[in-house]
Chain A
Amino acid sequence: MKIKADTGRCIGAGMCVLTLPQVFDQSEDDGTVVVLDAEPSADLAPAVNRAVQLCPSGALSVEE
């Protein structure tokens, strides 16, 4: 699993950070997504998928 984040699309809503703070953070400057761990362990897959699903701007995607 590899997480891709498009900071150009991101609107800084923070849903990913709220869902999985060990994998996602937000930039201090503009609140856009910072991926802390782009290839998290498989047991985090359900939470990663939920973060992708909750992202309001469609900035997150996962490659298997």
Chain B
Amino acid sequence: MTEATPRLATYPLTRERAFDPPDELARRRAEAPIQRMTYADGHEGWLVTGYAESRAILADNRFSSRPELLHSPIPQRGEFRREPLTPGFFIRMDPPAHTRYRRLLTGQFTVRRMKTLEPRIQEITESRLDAMEREGAPADLVESFALPIPSLVICELLGVPYEDREKFQRDSAVLLNLDSSIEDVRAAVQDLYSYLHGLVTMKAEEPADDILSGLVAGGELTTEEIGGIGLLLLIAGHETTANMLGLGTFALLTNPDQLAVVRDDPAAVENAVEELLRYLSIVHIGPTRTALEDVEVGGALIRAGESVTMSVGAANRDPERFEGGDALDVTRPAHGHLSFGHGIHQCLGQQLARIEMRIAYPALLRRFPNLRLAVPAREVPLRSNMAIYGVHRLPVLW
């Protein structure tokens, strides 16, 4: 049955509407939640758009994250994706290598640890709102609010000087831009890695109370590995939450009744954040895994060596799991969404991201009850060309 389904030529990236995954993915999900897809290099792999099927694959360690086994679902940068890893880049490793790195970090990101950061995150948020008020409307919400808050927080946690942000934000933009040439991506990775490696070397001489210093003092990892981990956490720690704050605010401004709930009902905020995570699904492509042996999923037989690309956005809108999931409803039970992934690679920083969002959205909406777009919604530039979706800018008035 699955064999007879027309094959999709590579993974669609163009979103017809700002907040919805590409329509093609919803059409495919209605046809068959798991089906064949031709990859950019001609590989005959799979596309998974169903919630249950995606969750099952993400939880199954017979599917590998290793880059050398991976086929790219998009033509851009297929070659780069298979290149050898930066040391310590554990999201592209399988157990037991992955387990060793992750275990050294999880103690730093526990629910309780993250809660102790609340007062500092509130302080950072308020200071950004003060600055917006001082500078006056209009403002680009990305530059003045969505990007600086998570950037400041992850810099302080890791022990990366925030003054260096222009450098790492520029490099990470090149890295995440799907249209960047392979040469530019290589150069950006090398540049970021050298920067972090240098920083880690300094931490060995002058340790401080931060995660990178802690990893150095732990003595279990090389300077190279800690540099690679720093690179991963720095990018993952600010690009993701920044885009959730930017795109999430845009979505709320477009849905004033939903915005009012987040602004006026503190008890609703926790769930509203989960629903925004589900509804917006900012992971724009994948994740992709490769079967290490033959595995049957949802009636399809995935052969060893075949790549499987899931769509977090399509899975999070699967009507079998989230009824009426194409609508933003901040009161819907949204737990169980796949926006932080699932399985052993589920986001290490998710509890930090939750706290940042739970503080930032209501603080913004309460400080500026008349917050509104400064341009027509269709003129807001969308990040369709980036690995992490969102808005490039969000011009606002208040």
Contact = CB atoms under 8 A, between A and B. Distances in A.
Interface of A: 11-15, 17-19, 21, 25-32, 50, 53-54, 56-58
Given A17-B110, A56-B58, 4 more contacts: A12-B106, A13-B106, A28-B110, A56-B346
Contact of B109 (A14, A25, A29, A54): A14
Nearest to A28: B107
Interface in B321-348: 335-336, 340-344, 346-348
**For the complex, would chain A's binding face be called helix, strand, loop or mixed by DSSP majority?**
loop
Contacts of B346: 11, 13, 15, 56-57
Interface of B: 58-59, 99, 102-112, 335-336, 340-344, 346-348, 350-351, 354
Contacts of A31: 103, 105-110
B342 A11 contact: no
A4 to B, nearest CB: 18
A56 B106 contact: no
A14 B110 contact: yes
A17 B111 contact: yes
Contact of A12 (B107, B343, B354): B107
Contacts of A25: 112
Contacts of A11: 99, 102, 106, 344, 346
Contacts of A56: 58-59, 341-344, 346
List the 9 closest A-B pairs by CB distance, nearest first: A12-B106, A31-B106, A56-B346, A26-B110, A17-B111, A14-B111, A31-B107, A13-B346, A31-B110
| Of listed B111, B335, B340, B344, residue having the most chain A CB within 10 A | B111
B316 to A, nearest CB: 15
Contacts of B335: 19, 50, 54
